[in-house]
Amino acid sequence: MGASLPALLRRPAILWSALAAAVAAAVVTVLLVVPGADDGPADGDGDYLDASLPVDERVDDLLGRMTIEEKIGQMTQATVGAVEAAPSDVGEYGIGSLLNGGSEALFDTPEEWAAMIDGYQDEALKSRLGIPLMYGIDAVHGNTAIPGAVVFPHNIGLGAAHDPDLAGRAAAVTAAETRAAGIHWTFAPCVCVARDSRWGRTYESYGEDPGLAFEYAGPVVHGYQGEDLAANTSVLATAKHYVGDGGTDYGSSTTGDYLLDQGVVTLTEEELRSIHLAPFQAAVDAGVGSVMASFSSTDLGEGPLKTHADEYLITDVLKGELGFDGIVVSDWQAVDQVSTDYAEAVRASVNAGIDMVMVPFEYERFISTLLSEVESGGVAEDRIDDAVARILTQKFALGLFEQPFADTAHAAEVGSDEHRDVAREAAAASQTLLRNDGDLLPLTGQESIYVAGSGADSIGRQSGGWTASWQGSTVTPTQGTTILAGIQEVASDAAVTFSEDASEPVEAADVGIVVVAEDPYAEGVGDAGAGEHDLALSEDDAAAVETVCAAVDCIVIVVSGRPVEIAPHLGEPGTPRSVDSLVAAWLPGSEGAGVADPLFGAAPYNGRLPVSWPRQTDDEPLNVGDAEYDPLFAFGFGLVTP
């Protein structure tokens, strides 16, 4: 990494040359579709249907047969709920992609998901040229849209593990469990660099140092995409959010609702490149198939500009300088934020280099608006051709023209013990020991143990946001093992008493474990100071720590997507009411036994802080290298046990 960042800073920007392609419309025979496991367009002609030809030749051939309306349809991504009442619109408008929004209806099995997606695929294949659609989803830490799928630690925990290869294996499991449901595209990994823990997306970041995201980007992209995108265990990956979303200024939100999300990144271009751009270079070098633009704006000294309308950052830097040849996809309805004039917003975003627009609802409006812009000369057709060529290239790479329908051969492996073992290993590796007075940990497993706290018996809290729904839920959103159940499993000989609020007598126990936790959240709603979420312990959890730690030797485990205000509750080591051992568990996912493993020595504590842990919320933003740096626990800190 040391050699790569300076090189990135020195590299001159070059303009991306638009892909020239023939635009003459060809009259072709209407393609007949016979649904089946291996069926594509049955009676079509054209070189694009010849799988033996190079992809670029197939793309050129197909692009030359398409009308401008068909091209714009391919640039359209609609949420599945928008076409539910009119599925034939998928074929009629030639919609290029559908996605599942964060809070839309879910299905219980991979087979049910596959059947739903195949139904829309069938509609897509009825279009004149039989171009298959791609289906996308936010499988950011497992395909949590399926209740039985494995849920991995969020990125902040994987960053604490300092093991990019392990993160790559987690991505490979997620890819297999996602493709088994007929889903082709995940909007992951997030390679953002979180510079302020008040940001509600902090847990989506590997940490505050760009070196972490730089190291993780390649193995994780490879984990998702595998050696062959067409394989039934691979999905198209998305590096997001381009660029700088983790560095937004506190109080800068352009929406007025939140304090950090969708805000403004104010810094020099050199800072933008060295902190936020470098991980995208690593993702591009790894062959990532798509990049998602950020909601945020960037101010490099000339005033803020929405990234979605920033031609310099998208076309000159990403597509030109970094050499990205995949799809630039917009974020959810983000194009609408570029201007109050919708035509201007569409024109500016597409001209800036957005290839596929996550509309996600009013797809007819988007299609007609972009068509008008092309007809009036506001958007050149070669820009459209460039965008569509990028989209078609990924569809060919995914093998969708040969195998448009779902292959559920691996459906039985979703949530398998083998997959859960990887998630458990990742959870254990992420555990970060911050205090261990008197070498209390690891425990022997023979103790009488008192367990309390809101995070002890809550799959929802330990999984966090983006689990079954956008903001997550304290109501069990998925299948798995709670931390309490993990303790009972790993220390099967121990006498375990559980009282969430610590209302049961404590004194008879040998040791207490208090699992404090944040309630689940995602971006915006999770910004500290935006409303119900902050970095303080809940009153109930704070009371449980006070009660248990005053009575017995105690361990506090923090389940959170970021550092919390723990300093007021720690006490001085060795004094009454002190916390003897402190563990940052992050958001470990569905396998709570992974949290228990190092508690009892079944795995070592080996995690290190991927972010600086402030003494109080007002210390944020706090990052290693700051001129005034006085954290409670420094970046990279973590005690180690055998």
Give the residue numbers marked as catalytic: 331, 523
CA distance 206 to 216: 8
CA distance 262 to 523: 9
Amino acid letter, 27: V
Neighbour tally for 43: CB within 10 Å: 11
Order of strands across the sheet that contains 297-299: 264-266, 297-299, 305-306
Neighbour tally for 285: CB within 10 Å: 15
* 569 and 546 Cβ atoms separated by less than 8 Å: yes
Q: How far is CA 130 from the centre of its chain?
A: 31
Degrees to nearest 5, angle at CA 325 with 322 and 331: 90
Q: Are strands 97-99 and 76-79 parallel, antiparallel or unpaired?
A: parallel
CA distance 337 to 360: 13
Per the structure block, which two tokens stand in for 88?
A: 């034939």
Residue ranges in 252-315 assigned as alpha helix (H)? 269-271, 278-285, 311
Please name every residue paired with 565 in a beta bridge, in sequence order, or none if there are none.
Answer: 536
Which element (helix H / strand E) includes 582? strand 581-586
* 622 and 610 Cβ atoms separated by less than 8 Å: no
Q: Which is nearest to 150 in space by CA: 430, 459, 520? A: 459
CA distance 411 to 376: 49
Looking up tokens 């200024």 gives 249
Q: Which is nearest to 337 in space by CA: 357, 353, 364? A: 357
Q: Which residues of 450-463 are buried (b: 16+ CB within 10 A; e: fewer)?
A: bbbbbbbbbbbbbb
* 29 and 44 Cβ atoms separated by less than 8 Å: yes
**Sign, Cα dihedral of 143, 147, 151, 154:** positive
Q: What is the DSSP string of 86-140?
A: -TTHHHHTT--EEE--TTS---SSHHHHHHHHHHHHHHHHTSTT-PPPEEEE--S
Q: Which is nearest to 590 in space by CA: 60, 91, 148? A: 148
CA distance 99 to 91: 16
CA distance 414 to 402: 24
CA distance 175 to 410: 11
